[in-house]
């Protein structure tokens, strides 16, 4: 098994390497791939030192799997070149997610649609991944009619320069701004680029990707994305209107028994999900589960996950594991 990590020096790339080290995947050859400015530098994987190679060199090595986290522009240019030599690419950018014939995969939800001919597989947006993990069992049981999603997203979702901006601001250092405003001691309703409809690209990703992964384009979805000064992960307040009535205790049992979910919902002990305690974890944490008393068949819940782990790196590695275990490579 030959595996490449493209974008190996970035925040998500580094997390992919960490998750691969923790995984049960037996890797015979490993390739660390990055931009020309990083070629020749070294990094550690499984206690061995590897020299970073170029994208062209990686294509020539024909890895079985390439985990991509190098941005949409690089993905559009290079992913097809890997696919042409027989590599299965799992791409973390937004470049391929909404392409009709490209599967958009969260293993707990829809890995079963994958087949041996899928050479390009899209990894969803971080906030979408944790959302659909929590929603999928509920949709199957009660059928979701409408969603209202408000996200509280970590600066790590923007990258290492955003993290540095926050840390510098915290120290009172005048620094290069990745965001249009100070992020420390602040939050702002702006994730991605503003679109003609007044929503941002991050908000519309939640709408379109959720429908595609759940394979239900009739779900009404509206969202607001907010950036907050935390490192641990993304949080989401989710209001769900169902077609069918539900019992709260039965619903909690369903979530508690669903793969990839940890239920934290004991308000008598102030137990609920928080990014501080989700950092470094692979699961999606769900809590603050309560009926919406303003209308029937409607539920509120709070969903938190480490956006670099389950929201990116872990999900990609889980896809790779599924492909290997099911002999789709």
CA distance 201 to 207: 10
> What does the block give as tokens for 267?
């308000």
Tell me if residue 126 is catalytic.
Answer: yes
Which of 134, 152, 150 is CA-nearest to residue 214? 134
From the list 126, 139, 190, 278, the catalytic residue is 126
The answer to whether the beta carbons of residues 200 and 223 sit under 8 Å apart is no
The answer to whether the beta carbons of residues 283 and 306 sit under 8 Å apart is no
DSSP string, 91-144: E-SSSSTT-TTS-B--HHHHGGG--TT--EEEPPPHHHHHHHHHHHHHHHHH-E
From the list 187, 190, 208, 234, the catalytic residue is 234
The answer to whether the beta carbons of residues 323 and 113 sit under 8 Å apart is no
The sign of the torsion formed by the CA atoms of 183, 159, 307, 120 equals: positive
Instruction: Show which residues are catalytic.
Output: 126, 234
């Amino acid at each position: 098994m030959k595996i490449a990590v493209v974008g190996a020096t970035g925040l998500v790339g580094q997390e992919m390497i960490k998750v691969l080290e923790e995984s049960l995947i037996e890797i015979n050859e490993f390739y660390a791939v990055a931009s020309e400015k990083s070629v020749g530098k070294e990094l550690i994987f499984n206690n061995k030192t590897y020299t970073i190679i170029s994208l062209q060199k990686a294509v020539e090595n024909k890895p079985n799997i390439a985990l991509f986290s190098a941005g949409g522009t690089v993905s559009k240019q290079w992913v097809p070149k890997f696919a042409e030599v027989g590599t299965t690419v799992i791409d973390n950018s937004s470049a391929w997610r909404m392409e009709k014939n490209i599967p958009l995969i969260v293993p707990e939800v829809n890995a079963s649609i994958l087949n041996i001919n899928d050479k390009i597989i899209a990894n969803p947006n971080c906030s979408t991944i944790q959302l659909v993990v929590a929603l999928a069992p509920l949709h199957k049981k009660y059928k979701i009619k409408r969603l209202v999603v408000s996200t509280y997203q970590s600066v790590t979702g923007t990258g290492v320069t955003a993290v540095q901006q926050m840390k510098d601001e915290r120290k009172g250092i005048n620094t290069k701004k990745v965001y249009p405003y100070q992020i420390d001691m602040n939050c702002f309703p702006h994730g991605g680029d503003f679109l003609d409809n007044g929503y941002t690209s991050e908000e519309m990703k939640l709408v379109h990707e959720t429908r595609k992964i759940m394979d239900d384009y009739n779900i009404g979805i509206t969202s607001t994305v907010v950036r907050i000064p935390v490192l641990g992960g993304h949080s989401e307040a989710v209001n769900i209107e169902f077609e069918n009535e539900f019992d709260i205790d039965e619903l909690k049992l369903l979530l508690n028994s669903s793969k990839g979910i940890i239920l934290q919902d004991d308000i008598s002990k102030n137990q609920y999900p928080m990014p501080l305690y989700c950092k470094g974890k692979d699961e999606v944490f769900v809590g603050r589960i309560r009926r919406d008393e303003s209308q029937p068949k409607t539920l509120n819940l709070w969903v938190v996950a480490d956006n670099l782990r389950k929201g990116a790196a872990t999900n990609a590695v889980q896809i790779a594991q599924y492909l290997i275990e099911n002999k789709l490579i």
